Amino acid sequence: MALNSLGRLLVLLAAAYSGAEANNLFRSPRQAPGSIFTVGNGEQCLGSDRSTGGVCLSRNQCNTQGGKAIGFCGVFATCCSLNACDVRTNTKVAIFINPPLNRESSGLECSYNVEINNNNVCQMRIDFETFNLAPPTTVEPVENVTQRPGFTCRNDIFQVTNLQANSDFLPPLCGDNNGQHLYVRVNASTNSRSIRINFKIADRNTQPNLPQATWKIKVTQLECFNTLGKYRDGLFEAITSSLPSTPLSSSADRDEYLIAPPGCLQYYPDRSGSFESFNYNRGAGPYIANLAYSTCFKRTPDVCGVKLTSASFEMAYRDEQNLYLDTDCQVNPVTQGAPQSEDYLFIPEAETADGLRGTKFCGSSASNQIIASTPPGPLSVHFRSDNLVTDDIPESGYRFNYNVLNNCYLKT
């Protein structure tokens, strides 16, 4: 009798898989199909206007988190827009939208507490679908003084706190960061089982020239496999692990594609795309001071490197006579004297299409270049900015298109 029941279950699962697979031939591995039986699984949804994004929750969950129902998702759930401040959530995916802001309501702090959904969650990916805050600023120039402190977030500030054992540091951000993202490590075994996302918005009454602050950010909790792999949750999990993302399948199976390597603030798992400096602002910049972080790319067994095609590259430099490479971009501590620029983009094992080799790029050295990076280990670039800006030397930032390489003998 038990075997007959198990057989009927396997037949039903196979039928569900076949039907779902037919509908998922053209679906990205990061998208999850919906279900009319959804009861509030925290997945993304669209409101009744088919353009406003939200999170699929039960009506009670939406009300508890201070959200607003903007439509339905399935029979038993509502599409919830979390556009209030002081929201607390533990949903798989959360979307936070700025509350209505005007001069009377600016000068506020808006915080979101995202609690770990389950013990398998190891990372949170924060996507800035919309992110427009006041730009970073520096002090006013002083006559006969050419150097000033770097551009930092002094008016509007975005920051993530309550990080894993207080060992991680994420930089405060501001300016135009539409389409950017960042990763946060979390650990369910520590006492701190949440992160806090905070927006501090300057008062537009006293500073009317600042642009209007708007944001729409998506926080996705990503699950890692434990040492038992796909069998960690028993026989039923093993049976359903190969199915597409339905209520029966594992979230960790769906998340595996997006899990970033250790040490990466940003991660691009697709084989091609583009990336840029924070507050690149369509080439107007400036980039933010005191940053040091890695941008990483997925290295599958067939990949030997990454090709970077410069769309724009304009960083600080020390001397117009330099090539803006390596020791030109960072001062040797033994010979360091007066403060000098040490901004650079580190690209390991880099070689340009015309044969120029280097690792640290500053000034305009990567401008209009095709660069192949073929390191033996992980694929990444590392950005560093100091707290110094020199008059008449632009710090606009960079934008690259990238393609992973599976033939590193043909680098161009």
For the chain, list the domains and their CATH numbers.
Answer: 33-81 (no CATH), 83-224 (2.60.120.290), 272-405 (2.60.120.290)
Which of 224, 197, 201, 219 minimizes the C-alpha distance to 211? 201
- The band of 263, judged by pLDDT with boundaries at 50, 70 and 90, is very high
Compare 5 and 32 and report the one with higher pLDDT. Answer: 5
User: Dmax over Cα atoms in the chain, in whole Å?
Assistant: 91
3-state secondary structure of 311: strand
The span from the CA of 195 to the CA of 164, in Å, is: 9
pLDDT at position 381? 98
Residue 273, CB-side half-sphere exposure with 13 Å CA sphere: 13
134: which 2 tokens?
């006041």
pLDDT at position 87? 84
- Does the pLDDT at position 285 exceed 70? yes
3-state secondary structure of 222: strand
| φ, ψ at 173 (rounded to 5°) | -120, 160
- Does the pLDDT at position 191 exceed 60? yes
pLDDT at position 39? 56
User: 72: burial class by Cβ within 10 Å (0-12, 13-18, 19+)?
Assistant: middle
For residues 160-181, give the mean pLDDT: 82
- The band of 257, judged by pLDDT with boundaries at 50, 70 and 90, is very high
Buried b (16+ CB within 10 A) or exposed e, 5-25: eeeeeeeebeebbeebeeebe
Q: Which of 3-12, 15-24, 185-194 has the highest mean pLDDT?
A: 185-194
Task: Return the bridge partners of 345, or none.
Answer: 361, 383
Determine if the pTM surpasses 0.75.
yes
Q: Find the DSSP H helices in 144-250.
A: 235-240
Least confident of 164-173, 227-236, 369-378: 227-236
